Amino acid sequence: MKLTSLLAIALPFLGAVLPAQTPDHLVGITRNMPGLRHQSHNPCMLLAQCPVPMPSSAALPLFVGGTAWDPVRSGAWVSNGILLAKVDDNCGMQCPPMPIPTLGPNAFITGMEVVEGLNELWLIDSAGFLHRYSNTCPAAPLGICNTGLAQTAIGNVTTGLAVDELNGIVFISYPIFPGGPNRIVVSLLAAPCVPVSSFFLPPCFAPFGAVLGLACDWGNRILYATDGGNTMAMTYGWAPPMVIVGPVTCCPAVAVADPMIGLAVRPGRATSVGGPCANGSCAPCPQIHTLRNDPCLGNAQFALGLDQAPANALTLLAIGTGPCFVPGIIAPPLCGPLHTNALLGTLGPNLTGGFGICDGSTSFNVPLPVAAGLAGQVFSSQCVTICLGGGVIGFGMSNCLSWQLQGN
């Protein structure tokens, strides 16, 4: 049974969401010494930063640049305004810098977003054109349209892009640069280049400069913005075609020397409980259970994996509602406790393959829909391996993972 069907069955029975993983946080490329900055909005804290191997934006206009998170490969698309690249958490290159073939003369990329449900990378430029690319390496152009949000003599320019896929909202920041009011233009996902309304960012505890990046956590209806240093988290409602501004929290700059020129939400990571075990004909292998990528709604390539498992064995993936729990349930003839909570069902069996004793591996693909009510729901998963050797049956078990469906 597919997990999307299991989710639909389980949804009415799910209770309160419990902590399942590390919190999500914000990431953004920096301007002068290109780096990927990781920072938490709540609490206001710098988490890490690593150098991005691409040219600086220091000689370009102050409003250029963008960042978008790719949940399929767990990496950040970044642009210095002219080039496009993708890096992992530690700035290891996932896709080397490439020119943007649809970018016009004297125009610069100013905002970016990955639209998971379409598996597309969207870019907005300083001339007001929205570029659609495949979310692949290299990114391939799919189309372009004109929002009409051109750069004006008084300083209006696009500076950020974010999408709420559940409600079909596209947010484009269009401030008067560098110090004017921060207007956010709203269009619809079905017609992203046709503005339907706009609103102004509410005030912060201190002056908030021109927006340089936007990011959306649509699962919690939070729109994030940065002026390069300060960050804002604004809750919002949707009364088509109007966005209703809600409460706001603001953070002062966590690193003032080099401003961010883009913004994205990096999803949290799964947490692990328990360890491997084996009995019978199953070799005592590490049996490491991980998420292959991010459990973001709309990610049709979301997958759970098992590595360093007994070779050529059959593996089932148990899925439970709620996080992993201890001490778990002992269910002979299994070799150890089952930590999945309120068992929802199983996926598989999959054959691990491999040639060495412990080099078996497999993946379970679980396409995630963009659906109301799923964002924030917590699940647990654990692999059970069945070994047949010398006429003896054996069982192996992995660690248990807790993970949360996310709308960002």
The domain defined by 25-266 carries CATH number 2.120.10 = yes
User: Would you place residue 6 in the very low, low, confident or very high pLDDT band (cuts 50, 70, 90)?
Assistant: very low
Q: What is the length of the chain?
A: 408
pLDDT at 19 over 60: no
Q: Are strands 83-87 and 75-79 parallel, antiparallel or unpaired?
A: antiparallel
What distance in Å separates the CA atoms of residue 164 and residue 356, rounded to the nearest whole number?
46
- Across the chain, what does the average pLDDT equal? 93
What distance in Å separates the CA atoms of residue 220 and residue 24, rounded to the nearest whole number?
12
Give pLDDT, residue 389: 82
pLDDT at 1 over 80: no
At 169, which amino acid appears?
I
Give pLDDT, residue 229: 94
Residue identified by tokens 């709620």 is: 322
At 166, which amino acid appears?
L
Residue identified by tokens 């349209």 is: 145
pLDDT at 20 over 80: no
What distance in Å separates the CA atoms of residue 49 and residue 258, rounded to the nearest whole number?
11
pLDDT at 2 over 60: no
pLDDT at 14 over 80: no
Burial class (CB in 10 A: 0-12, 13-18, 19+), 101: exposed
User: And the tokens for 168?
Assistant: 């079909």
What distance in Å separates the CA atoms of residue 260 and residue 57, rounded to the nearest whole number?
11
What distance in Å separates the CA atoms of residue 57 and residue 222, rounded to the nearest whole number?
28
Cis peptide before 51 (omega within 30 of 0): no
CB 403 within 8 A of CB 36: no
The domain defined by 271-404 carries CATH number 1.10.10 = no
Q: Count other C-beta atoms under 10 Å from residue 330's C-beta.
A: 10
What separation in angstroms does the CA of 24 have from each of 28, 204, 407? 14, 22, 11
User: Would you place residue 114 in the very low, low, confident or very high pLDDT band (cuts 50, 70, 90)?
Assistant: very high
Reduced 3-state DSSP string for the chain: CCHHHHHHHHHHHCCCCCCCECCCEEEEEECCCCEEEEEECCCCEEEEEEECCCCCCCCCCCCCCEEEEECCCCEEEEECCCEEEEECCCCCEEEEEEECCCCCCCCCEEEEEEEHHHCEEEEEECCCEEEEEECCCCCCEEEEEECCCCCCCCCECCCEEEEECCCCEEEEECCECCCCCCEEEEEECCEEEEEEEEEECCCCCCCCCCCCEEEEECCCCEEEEECCCCEEEEEEEEECCEEEEEEEEEECCCCCCCCECCCEEECCCEEEECCCEECCCCCCCCCEEEECCCCECCCCCCEEEEEEECCCCEEEEEEEECCCCCCCEECCCCCCEECCCCEEEEEEEEECCCCCCCCEEEEEECCCCCCCCCCCCEEEEEEEEEEEECCEEEEEEEEEEEEECECC
pLDDT at 3 over 60: no
Where do you find CATH 2.120.10 in the chain?
25-266
Which tens digit of pLDDT belongs to each residue from 355-401?
A: 999 999 999 999 999 998 999 999 999 999 999 987 899 999 999 99
Which tens digit of pLDDT belongs to each residue from 80-95?
A: 999 999 999 999 999 9
Give pLDDT, residue 13: 34
Q: Count other C-beta atoms under 10 Å from residue 356's C-beta.
A: 11
Which tens digit of pLDDT belongs to each residue from 127-139?
A: 999 999 999 999 9
**Position with higher pLDDT, 354 vs 140:** 140
Which tens digit of pLDDT belongs to each residue from 141-158?
A: 999 999 999 999 999 999
Which tens digit of pLDDT belongs to each residue from 199-248?
A: 999 998 778 999 999 999 999 999 999 999 999 999 999 999 999 999 99
- Model pTM score: 0.92
User: Would you place residue 11 in the very low, low, confident or very high pLDDT band (cuts 50, 70, 90)?
Assistant: very low
Where do you find CATH 2.60.40 in the chain?
271-404
**Position with higher pLDDT, 388 vs 19:** 388
User: Would you place residue 290 in the very low, low, confident or very high pLDDT band (cuts 50, 70, 90)?
Assistant: very high
Give pLDDT, residue 12: 35
